[in-house]
Amino acid sequence: MAKDKKEKLNFQLKVPKGTKDWEGKDMVIRDKIFSTITQVFKRHGAVTIDTPVFELKEILAGKYGEDSKLIYDLKDQGGEICSLRYDLTVPFARWLAMNSSVQNIKRYHIAKVYRRDQPAMSKGRMREFYQCDFDIAGTYDPMLPDAEILRITTEIFEALGWKGRYTIKVNHRKILDGIFEVCGVPKDKLRTISSAVDKLDKSPWEEVRREMTEEKGLDEVVADKIGEYVNHKGSRDLLTELSNNETLVANESAKAGLADMALLFDYLEVFGVLDRISLDMSLARGLDYYTGVIYEVVTEGSAPAVSKSSESQRIQRDAKKEAKKTGEDDDRSDDPTVGVGSVAAGGRYDELVGMFSGKNQIPCVGISFGVDRIFSIIKARMEKENAAAVRSTEVDVFVMAFGGKGFTGLLRERMEIAKRLWDAGIKAEFSWKVKPKLQQQFKAAEQGGVPLAIILGEDELAAGKAKLKQMGLEEGHPEKDGVMIDMADLVSEVKKTLARIDQTTTNGFNGMTEAVEKLEV
């Protein structure tokens, strides 16, 4: 019997590669990111939906281009072949196709998705991770929903405290397709060449050109023509330059895309976000379902630590060789050629719903925020600043008691005070010991980052008073030891003090935001 028990326990206790347990202050930070994003979504009139964590395999098949190999397929256990969802966009399009009465909707969805990618855990590149999606479905005048989504994007990153230290790269699939066509790319290679170009954010042009010519069979002359276009980025100046290119505007696809971008830039100027926009001709977005404007958000943590110099190319090649040795399942957090990547991305996908419904085409545009990548950058910034303001709980008041010889613990009195605070909507707790030591109570409050303490003593209670102490005041502060208040005014005094305390103390995420604001990009 003992032998059987030993055999049953003979396994490695761990989480699967590319996943992690979340707890403590990490959860506090992540939950605040969720709530910040959700508030912005609701501000713009969105409703939420939810879909199954797995879909029929045929629903997901053929939607993600070369990334389709990263889909997790499930074993047939019920007569249906299913796969874990790769993103939240395709399930949303499937939902729209199944609910034909819904012809327009602003929807947000926060849920986990799954990709069998090579993980880099400390950089937020995981196999199980959260996405926060916002999509607008319906037929509207051109570029208005697209502009609002980019406005939403800036609102979210400003609310997270990034203070403009991010760039929204934009491009247009029709412009890209027009460039490929005028350069001579065969139609059957448009998407695969697009996927190669999309790697220019992390690989030098020489490496991308080699992939296009040697791996994907593109003529070298055609590749060089593409290079004359895709290595440029700018704003209205670049848009004007492209619009004056007679060869390019003679192509109907490119001409339509350039007109869209001109209109989009006008609307973004009205929304006050044009200064965050970079027209980046290398941005292609590898997913097959995009049909119009595309965008992704990058910040200083997005790019690999290694630059695009000739020396870095050698380092990248060596790192890739080492990755093949260690295996695709191994964590690449220490690989200098791997960055966090984009922290949000999306675009217009006007034909995806029609792929499911046949005739019911519903134009859509949306964006997805990568919470785990955002988290990894915020946490790295906090560690750089030695920020310690994140609280593990949201408790505002710790109710304590002290006394000398014959101390009873004042348990009922502490419970009564806690009840009064709870009834007033104030977050409070007390020690679950009948006779707690004062030092232990202070330690519990400090570990939880609780900003206020109510300290009860028998003599003070007899006089109808208690001590209100703000935690963490420096030595020499006139209120370092607390102030006496009347028990009758306890709730109002607590509320007044909480309102006065600096937000970096009362709200850990705001403390984190302040730390982020101190950093230079």
Residue holding tokens 């973004």?
A: 268
Looking at the DSSP bridge assignments, the partners of residue 288 are none
238, with CB counted inside 10 A (0-12, 13-18, 19+), is: middle
378, with CB counted inside 10 A (0-12, 13-18, 19+), is: buried
Give a three-class secondary structure readout of 432-466: CCCCCCHHHHHHHHHHCCCCEEEEECHHHHHCCEE
Q: Are 370 and 495 in contact (CB under 8 A)?
A: no
Q: How far is CA 145 from the centre of its chain?
A: 21
Strand arrangement of the beta sheet that strand 344-348 belongs to: 47-48, 105-114, 128-137, 364-370, 344-348, 293-298, 167-172, 277-280, 233-234
Answer yes or no: is 87 a known binding residue: yes
In whole angstroms, give the CA distance from residue 340 to residue 343. 8
By residue count, the chain amounts to 521
Looking at the DSSP bridge assignments, the partners of residue 47 are 107
Write the single-letter amino acid at 279.
Answer: L
Answer yes or no: is 290 a known binding residue: yes
Sequence-distant (≥ 6) Cβ neighbours of residue 102 within 8 angstroms: 96, 137
Which pairing describes strands 344-348 and 233-234: parallel, antiparallel, or unpaired?
Answer: unpaired
Nearest CA to 192 out of 170, 215, 172, 210 is that of: 215
Answer yes or no: is 289 a known binding residue: yes
Write the single-letter amino acid at 21.
Answer: D
Answer yes or no: is 115 a known binding residue: yes
Q: Are 452 and 430 in contact (CB under 8 A)?
A: no
Answer yes or no: is 39 a known binding residue: no
Q: Three-state SS for 54?
A: strand
Sequence-distant (≥ 6) Cβ neighbours of residue 315 within 8 angstroms: 306, 336, 337
Task: Give helix 252-271 / helix 236-243 axis angle, nearest 10°.
Answer: 160
Q: Largest alpha-carbon pair distance within the chain? A: 94
Give a three-class secondary structure readout of 88-152: CHHHHHHHHHHCCCCCCEEEEEEEEEECCCCCEHHHCECCEEEEEEEEEECCCCCCHHHHHHHHH
Write the single-letter amino acid at 372.
Answer: D
Answer yes or no: is 135 a known binding residue: yes
Q: Are 189 and 218 in contact (CB under 8 A)?
A: yes
**Binding site per annotation, positions for L-histidine:** 87-89, 115, 131, 135, 285, 289-290
Give the annotated binding-site residues: 87-89, 115, 131, 135, 285, 289-290
